[in-house]
Structure 1
Amino acid sequence: MKKAILYLLFLVAFATNASAQDCGTAFLGTKTLYKAPVVKYTPVPKGYEPVFINHVGRHGARHLTKDVKAAFIYSVLLKADSAGMLTEKGELLKQMILNLQKVEKGNTKSISAEGREELQSIGSRMYSNYAQVFAGKPKLNVTITKEIRTKQSADAFLSGLKTKLKDSVQIVEANDDVNLRFYDESPAYTAYEKKGDWDKYKAIIAKAEHINEINKTIVSRLFKAEYLKTLDNMEADKIINDIWGFATIVYSVQGEAKQLGIEPKELDFTSLFTCDELKALGRTDNVEDFLVKGPGAKADGLQVIIAAPLLANFITTTDDFIKTRTYNANLRFAHAETISPFAALLGIEDADKVSSDINQFDRAWQASKVIPLSSNIQWIFYKKKGSANYLVKILLNEKEARITGLKNVSPYYKWADMRRFYIAKLVKLNYKLGDDAAEFLKNVK
């Protein structure tokens, strides 16, 4: 309740200051704050109880990943300011950036107070919804990546989970960049990310949204005419990208700002944009995520099939539970670049639809719904006493999900059917996945 009141006051303060609330928050995309779902789950089939959870989640709301002073806009503003070339809005931007620097000092790459609360709440709800999984002396396998924000996210999640757990819980923690940062493990994807055909599709949206003109218009609000002559299109684009990054991160660091006595209006970067500009820039930002992290314009794109190692890991860890009962839950903490390809590869509806007409991409896929901050995918396994069969329910962001191509009348799938379905998918992709996948398939058949 306290958090809700604080957030409401924050939003009201923003609304009195300019465009932020008038424009909504749809433009935030992957920087959208996680919202606890208001859902009514489908009743569990009679006699079945939850026994195991396989989970992967994105880190919580975070601070910037680079120091404010490292941004291109920072040096440009100081240079223009010393030359007396800032407009009134330029002066306002400079002060906002200095305020943000205070908030971010010592916090870069870390999750924020908002992020910790997001993860704690997800952990707490996991226990409330599936308490039977954690009965007795549960043992949890926790894996993270090399980034500190995934360790912090795991700790926050576990703190929420452990508020209702007994001290007898055992936690085994390890790094697993191979399965959780699979995008870094693929040279082909690294090349695609740097220079792939996705660039041409993004250019179509940028042209449709008149991004070059928007960049020039916004920059002209910040710098006097004489200084504008020294900036080319690429520099204007860098400036707007930096301001955009600041504008979208502010929602995640409201707690830290308040603690420093910095008012919302003193960090309202969105007041430098019109609502139409926020929408256009957000759409251009989101289409890149759709093409580089999401289902993209073509089925079975490289940016999706690289998630095969994580799918293989979900299958093998489930098999291990069924055979040995070693762990009650596998809890993984990673990144947006992990969750989105995995959701698409799984065939989760609303997360797997390609769009051959790139102008319609946001009808097929929305970053704010698939990979908001703290986004997560959960496989919840159920078993009936005396039966050898398992049912599994897949959740995307704690909402029941249906799988494209896997027929079922309810969200509870037979594990044998689901396992067969995903192994067949891996077999189909095997020619693209190389020796590691071939070894996996040989071992799991």
Structure 2
Amino acid sequence: MNHRIIPLFISLAMTVAATAQTSKEEIYKDIYRTGSNYFAYPKPKTQKLTMAPKGYEPFYISHYGRHGSRYMSNNDYYVTAINKLDSARQFGILSAKGEDVLAKLQIGYADAWHREGDLSKLGARQHREIAHRMYERFHELLSQPLQIDAKSSTSRRCMLSMFNFCQELQIMNPNLEIAMDASKRDMKYVVEDLSIKPKATAQSETYEQQRSAIFERAHNSDRLMASLFTDVLRASLFVDGRMLMEALYNVVEDLQNVPELNISLIDIFTKDELFNMWTGYNAGWLLSAGLIPGSTPNYLQQKEVLDSIVSTADHVIQAGKPCITLRFSHDSSVLPLSFLLGLKEAMGGTSDIENLYKHISIDKIIPMAANIQLIFYRKKGSDDILVKFLLNENETSVPALKTNCAPYYHWSDVKEYLITKHE
């Protein structure tokens, strides 16, 4: 059977070619994608999954996900924006547009008060819906009296995401035996290990300077200031336009995660402004994780989690008893894991920082409630285990691996690839 690992140089070439590029036009069709990791979870594009080869049935699911939609982790952005606009109002230089923005900011801040980083109502629904779809898609597995091992980060939003996910599964099948936990003892299997500090590279500093230039250029606040204040010159005496623009961007993008407020401020920016700011944030995330060639390989902080996924899968395969593993973590964990697994959406990073977004777009990888699912299949009388990868519930691929049954891969090949790649 011709399904061996291809040489590294061919692998890299295929990886770049296989990665679906992102265009400005694509972003403009769903402008909320400019929120990057603020982007509210989109429902999967794949409605009907590819059937497994004849005779193969699912027996194990390894799920690794991010918490659902949340409030901003810091309300300083609200405070900054409200204080500056309120001061302008007192000086009588706040425009009609500024008055409208201030009123909406005050509504949003009142709702977000003392909820920094908390799971929103939408975040809870997202996990219930993901769990519901998992049950429907893999009914033959989940309708059994299975054991489910669920662990989350000690963050409240992760624990509540786990609870909502598991509760939905329990409703669908009361015979499920679900064990939930959120202990510091298990964190090395759930989140990245920050005690691992890969040696910084000189190239990373160069990249950071380029990223910073993109970020600062994107925060040209001249047009925004003119729309919010009737006297821009006077406003500039106490308003740092660049700081205000950054604050408003964060508030604007996070509001999509609390839709029950029925307010939106996204129209205070032009599509070009949102796109330009997004490219800076996108590059920042990819540089931070080490997904750009030559950058500091911080993705290695997620190696323990990857090893746990592999070893747990092997244990389940050997035990021969169907079950499910659930892990609930953060965007900073899902992004490097997608790279370590070799998923196409996380591959193809380029040193061309200006055009990096065309190759890797983090809103496709780590929106709120992002998740990676490994679905394992076996055939009676055969030792050949197959595995399929889902990213945000959509079938995806590992370009560095060949397979004769795409989108399914032979676990022996996947395991060898993961071990060899990250030795």
- Common fold, TM-score beyond 0.5? yes
- Residue 198 to residue 152, structure 1, CA distance change in 2 (3 Å): farther
Which of 28, 38, 41 pairs up with 2:35? Answer: 28
Give the CA deviation at 1:309.
1.5
State percent identity of aligned pairs. Answer: 24
Alignment pair present for 1:211 and 2:207: no
Q: Please tell me whether the aligned partners of residues 128 and 168 of structure 2 are also in contact (alpha carbons under 8 angstroms).
A: yes
1:298-330 alpha-carbon deviations (Å, 9 max, x no partner): 167413232211111111111221233577111
**Distance in 2, Cα, partners of 1:168 & 1:45:** 27
Which of 284, 287, 290 pairs up with 1:291? Answer: 287
**Distance in 2, Cα, partners of 1:122 & 1:364:** 27
Q: Please tell me whether the aligned partners of residues 307 and 341 of structure 1 are also in contact (alpha carbons under 8 angstroms).
A: yes
Give the CA deviation at 1:198.
3.9
**Distance in 1, Cα, partners of 2:314 & 2:352:** 40
Aligned partner of residue 374 in structure 2, secondary structure: strand
Aligned residue in 1 for 2:16 = none
Give the CA deviation at 1:135.
4.7
- Residue 163 to residue 197, structure 1, CA distance change in 2 (3 Å): farther
**Distance in 2, Cα, partners of 1:116 & 1:390:** 34
Alignment pair present for 1:271 and 2:267: yes
- Residue 36 to residue 344, structure 1, CA distance change in 2 (3 Å): same
**Distance in 2, Cα, partners of 1:169 & 1:35:** 29
Aligned partner of residue 99 in structure 1, secondary structure: helix
Query: Unpaired segments of 5 or more residues in structure 1?
Result: 1-20, 258-263, 428-445
1:314-363 alpha-carbon deviations (Å, 9 max, x no partner): 11111221233577111011111111111112111122111121122111
Aligned residue in 2 for 1:251 = 256
Aligned residue in 2 for 1:396 = 391
What RMSD in Å do the two structures reach over aligned CA positions? 2.7
Q: Partner amino acid for 2:31?
A: G
TM-score, normalised with respect to structure 2: 0.84
1:364-403 alpha-carbon deviations (Å, 9 max, x no partner): 0112211111111111111112323311111111122211
Which of 366, 373, 377 pairs up with 1:378? Answer: 373
Spell out the pairing of 1:215-226 with structure 2 (5 A cutoff): 215-223=221-229, 224-226=231-233
Q: Partner amino acid for 2:190?
A: L
Query: Unpaired segments of 5 or more residues in structure 2?
Result: 1-27
Aligned partner of residue 347 in structure 2, secondary structure: coil
Aligned residue in 2 for 1:182 = 192
Q: Please tell me whether the aligned partners of residues 320 and 326 of structure 1 are also in contact (alpha carbons under 8 angstroms).
A: no
**Distance in 2, Cα, partners of 1:63 & 1:106:** 10
Aligned partner of residue 61 in structure 2, secondary structure: strand
Aligned residue in 1 for 2:102 = 94
Aligned partner of residue 362 in structure 1, secondary structure: helix
Aligned residue in 1 for 2:210 = 201
Q: Which has the higher contact order (CA 8 A, sep 6+)?
A: 2
Aligned partner of residue 417 in structure 1, secondary structure: helix
1:206-236 alpha-carbon deviations (Å, 9 max, x no partner): 36xx324x2233234334335334258xx43
Q: Partner amino acid for 1:117?
A: R
Give the CA deviation at 1:68.
5.7
Give the CA deviation at 1:425.
1.3
Which of 257, 278, 300 pairs up with 1:305? Answer: 300
Alignment pair present for 1:104 and 2:109: no
**Distance in 1, Cα, partners of 2:58 & 2:356:** 37
1:147-186 alpha-carbon deviations (Å, 9 max, x no partner): 1110111112112222211245232423333233315333
Alignment pair present for 1:170 and 2:178: yes
Give the CA deviation at 1:85.
4.2
Aligned residue in 2 for 1:317 = 312
Say how many residue pairs are matched.
390
Q: Partner amino acid for 1:202?
A: R
